[in-house]
Chains A and B, each alone.
Chain A
Amino acid sequence: DAKTTQPNSMESNEEEPVHLPCNHSTISGTDYIHWYRQLPSQGPEYVIHGLTSNVNNRMASLAIAEDRKSSTLILHRATLRDAAVYYCILRVGGTSYGKLTFGQGTILTVHP
C-alpha cells in the first residue's frame, strides 16, 4: 500500500470544526482513501472513504485534493467523544484481501 503522512497530534475545542490533513503523494489512480479512528480502549472504527470526489456522511466529510495527493477529514463540530487517533489509509481498489495498513495516525485532543 502507498504511504500516508499525518501530523502526530492536533488539538481542538469542543463544538469547533476540525480539519485533519493527510498527505499521500505516491497515491495511484486506483487507491481509495480511507479514514478510521480509534477511541481509547476500543477497536478501530470506520469513518469514511472516497476515491476522487468529496464525500459526506453522518460522521464526517472527506475533502480530496484535485491531484489526489492529499486529503482532509473534516469533523464539523468536534465533541469530547471525537477525541481519538485518526488513521488515513490508502487501499487498492478491487481485490486486495481486505488488509488495512495502519500508520501512526493523528492523536486528536478535544478541549471542553
Chain B
Amino acid sequence: EAQVTQNPRYLITVTGKKLTVTCSQNMNHEYMSWYRQDPGLGLRQIYYSMNVEVTDKGDVPEGYKVSRKEKRNFPLILESPSPNQTSLYFCASRRSSEGNQPQHFGDGTRLSIL
C-alpha cells in the first residue's frame, strides 16, 4: 500500500531535549515536505526537499533541521525544542515538484514540548 509513515505519532517531551520525527514514503517520490498545523493558522510548510541532498526552507523553518540522505526518508529534527514548537506535524510527498501531482500526507505526529 502506498503510504507516508511518520513516527512517533505522539510525543511529550521537555524543553531542550533533542528529538527527531521520522518520515518515510514507499512511492519513490522525489519531493517531500514537512508542515505544522496550529489552530487558527492552518497548515504551514516548514521545509521541503526536491530530491536527495536538496532541501530548502519553507515558511516557518526556525528551530528545525531536516536531512535527505535517501530518497525515501526525510526526518525532521528539533535540536533544542521549545514550547512554541508544540504542534501537529505532517510529512508529505509527491512524485516531483513540478506539475500538479497529488500530495500524499502522513497521519501526523502530535508533539507536546513542556
Q: Are A43 and B108 also in contact (CB < 8 A) when A99-B33, A99-B58 are?
A: yes
Partner of A102, one of B42, B58, B94: B42
**Min CB–CB distance B3 → chain A (angstroms):** 10
> Total contacts A to B, CB within 8 angstroms?
57
C-alpha spacing A55/B98, complex, angstroms: 20
**Min CB–CB distance A42 → chain B (angstroms):** 6
Chain A residues in 8 Å Cβ range of B50: 97-98
C-alpha spacing A102/B36, complex, angstroms: 11
Chain B residues in 8 Å Cβ range of A95: 97-98
Q: Which residue of B lies closest to A93 (CB)?
A: B100
Q: How large is the interface on A (under 10, 10 to 19, 20 to 34, 35 or more residues)?
A: 20 to 34
Give B residues with C-beta under 8 Å from A: 4, 31, 33, 42-43, 45, 48, 50, 56, 58-59, 90, 92, 94, 97-100, 102-108
Chain A contact residues, majority secondary structure: loop
Chain B residues in 8 Å Cβ range of A104: 42
Contact of A16 with B by CB under 8 A: no
Within 8 A of B (CB), among A14-40: 32, 34, 36
Could you list 13 further interchain pairs (A-B, Cβ under 8 angstroms) beyond the known A43-B108, A98-B103, A99-B59? A36-B103, A43-B92, A43-B105, A44-B103, A46-B104, A49-B100, A94-B99, A95-B98, A97-B50, A98-B97, A99-B45, A100-B43, A103-B42
Give A residues with C-beta under 8 Å from B: 32, 34, 36, 41-46, 49, 91, 93-100, 102-105
Contact B108 A97 (CB under 8 A): no
Chain B residues in 8 Å Cβ range of A32: 100
C-alpha spacing A98/B74, complex, angstroms: 15
C-alpha spacing A34/B102, complex, angstroms: 9
Contact B105 A98 (CB under 8 A): no
